[in-house]
Amino acid sequence: MNIEQIAVIGAGTMGNGIAQVCAVAGYQVLLVDVSDAALERGVATLSKNLERQVSKGTLDADKAAAAKTRIRTSTDYTLLSGAQLVIEAASENLQLKQRILQQVAANVAAECIIATNTSSLSVTQLAASIEHPERFIGVHFFNPVPMMALVEIIRGLQTSDSTYAQALVVTEKVGKTPITAGNRPGFVVNRILVPMINEAIFVRQEGLASAEDIDTGMRLGCNQPIGPLALADLIGLDTLLAIMEAFHEGFNDSKYRPAPLLKEMVAAGWLGRKSGRGFFTY
Kindly list the catalytic residues: 119, 140, 152, 190
Q: Would you give the DSSP letter of residue 149?
A: -
Bond before 144 cis per omega within 30 degrees: yes
| Residue-wise burial string across 138-148, b where 16 or more C-beta atoms lie within 10 A, e elsewhere | bbbbbeebbee
**For residues 33 and 39, is the Cβ–Cβ distance under 8 A?**
yes
**For residues 262 and 236, is the Cβ–Cβ distance under 8 A?**
no
Q: Would you give the DSSP letter of residue 135?
A: G
Query: Cβ neighbours of residue 59 under 8 Å, at least 6 residues apart?
Result: 24, 50, 53
Packed helices 189-205 and 228-235: angle between N→C axes, nearest 10 degrees:
110
- Dihedral sign (CA 68, 139, 75, 112): positive
Query: Cβ neighbours of residue 4 under 8 Å, at least 6 residues apart?
Result: 27, 28, 84
**For residues 203 and 209, is the Cβ–Cβ distance under 8 A?**
yes
Question: Strand locations in the chain, DSSP E?
Answer: 5-9, 28-32, 71-74, 85-88, 113-116, 136-141, 150-154, 177-181
Cβ count within 10 A of residue 215: 23
